[in-house]
């Protein structure tokens, strides 16, 4: 139980399903009000209604496409004076395809969604947090931002960017009492892979490394309001990514088979 959350407001992007929706349920269960955004409002409306009925908290929702920077600005204007205590940048997508054949328009959309939209929303949320000298920004990155693997060049590049941005932001905002946390999960059993994995085999191929969204959400919710630098999951992938920083050639050589399971 995270007592910090009671009465706080948590804004979550990409909240219509998967990890985002699960976090929304869990923070609401602990007494937090929610602001939910995604491209599809039908699922958001159902989730907001469910949250208000089950937990008796306020749950607002807004259509927001992270590639549409004007829409991001409009949503923040609608939110107005509502104090955002915690911003969770969860929206994102990936495609498993070789660099040479990946459609460049898809690469641009991936960067707009995973990186530039995240940065713009964060930039708009920060002034109020800085003025209050409190707040928590949680950016959902990936183990792909720690170790790049074949068929994930563009996706890995976006997550490396998220990590770099978050690390700099953490140092900039620390004097103002704002926490910045990056979450670096391995594969999570969500609809993410409906788009990312055309073969449909990836989750089966990586087997025991697959994470459940409920457990990932619980770990994120538990650190809300706390100065946690990173959450890295699962344990084995975290160990490998740490080793990669020291002996990259060795890891690439022995990990070749695992890296090519896409």
Kindly report the CATH number assigned to the domain that includes residue 122. 3.40.50.720
Count of beta carbons in the 10 Å neighbourhood of residue 78: 12
pLDDT over 90 at 256, yes or no: no
Beta bridge partners of 37: 62
Model confidence band, residue 61 (pLDDT cutoffs 50, 70, 90): very high
Annotated active-site residue in 155, 165, 202, 244: 155
| Residues 23/221, Cβ–Cβ less than 8 Å | yes
Place of tokens 């409906």: 194
Phi, psi (degrees; rounded to nearest 5) at 182? -105, 140
3-state helix, strand, coil in the chain (%, to 5): 55, 15, 30
Task: Give mean pLDDT, residues 236-240.
Answer: 89
Indicate whether 151 pLDDT > 70.
yes
Closest CA to 217 of 12, 6, 26: 26
Alpha-carbon separation of residue 70 from 76, 84, 121, 185 (angstroms): 10, 20, 11, 30
Q: How many CA atoms lie within 13 A of 132 on its CB side?
A: 16
From 2-16, 91-105, 189-203, 231-245, the region with the lowest mean pLDDT: 189-203
Are 179 and 76 in contact by the 8 Å Cβ rule? The answer is no
Q: What does the radius of gyration of the chain's CA atoms come to, in whole angstroms? A: 18
pLDDT, tens digit, 9 for 90 and up, residues 182-236: 999 998 987 675 665 566 666 666 666 889 999 999 999 999 999 999 999 999 8
Task: Residue 13: name the closest of 125, 128, 130, 131 by CA.
Answer: 125
Q: Tokens standing for 53?
A: 């009925």
Q: Read off the pLDDT of each residue in 44-73 and give the average, rounded to a whole number.
A: 97
**Domains contained in the chain, number:** 1
Q: Quick one: which of 185, 31, 8 has its CA closest to 82?
A: 8
Q: Which is it for the CA torsion 249, 250, 252, 253, positive or negative?
A: positive
**Catalytic site residue 155?**
yes
pLDDT at residue 237, rounded to an integer: 86
- What range defines the domain where residue 255 resides? 3-259
The confidence score (pLDDT) of residue 259 equals 67
The pLDDT of residue 251 is 86
70-89: per-residue pLDDT in tens?
999 999 999 999 999 999 99
């Amino acid at each position: 139980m995270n007592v910090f959350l009671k009465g706080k407001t948590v804004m979550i992007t990409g909240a219509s399903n998967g990890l985002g929706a699960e976090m929304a349920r869990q923070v609401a269960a602990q007494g937090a009000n929610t602001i939910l955004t995604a491209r599809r409002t039908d699922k958001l409306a159902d989730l907001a209604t469910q949250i208000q009925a089950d937990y008796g908290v306020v749950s607002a929702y807004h259509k927001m496409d992270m590639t549409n920077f004007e829409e991001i600005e409009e949503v923040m204007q609608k939110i107005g004076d509502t104090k955002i205590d915690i911003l969770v940048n969860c929206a994102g997508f990936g495609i498993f395809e070789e660099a040479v054949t990946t459609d460049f328009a898809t690469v641009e959309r991936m960067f707009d969604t995973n990186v530039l939209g995240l940065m713009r929303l964060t930039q708009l949320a920060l002034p109020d947090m800085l003025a209050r000298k409190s707040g928590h920004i949680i950016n959902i990155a990936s183990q792909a931002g720690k170790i790049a693997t074949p068929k994930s060049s563009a996706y890995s590049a976006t997550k490396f960017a998220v990590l770099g941005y978050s690390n700099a932001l953490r140092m900039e905002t620390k004097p103002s009492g704002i926490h910045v946390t990056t979450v670096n999960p391995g594969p999570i059993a969500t609809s993410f892979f409906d788009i990312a994995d055309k073969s449909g085999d990836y989750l089966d191929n990586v087997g025991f490394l697959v994470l459940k969204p409920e457990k990932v959400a619980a770990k994120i919710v538990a650190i809300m309001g706390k100065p946690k630098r990173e959450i890295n999951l699962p344990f084995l992938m975290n160990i490998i990514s740490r080793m990669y920083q020291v002996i990259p050639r060795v890891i690439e050589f022995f990990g070749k088979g695992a890296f090519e399971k896409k």
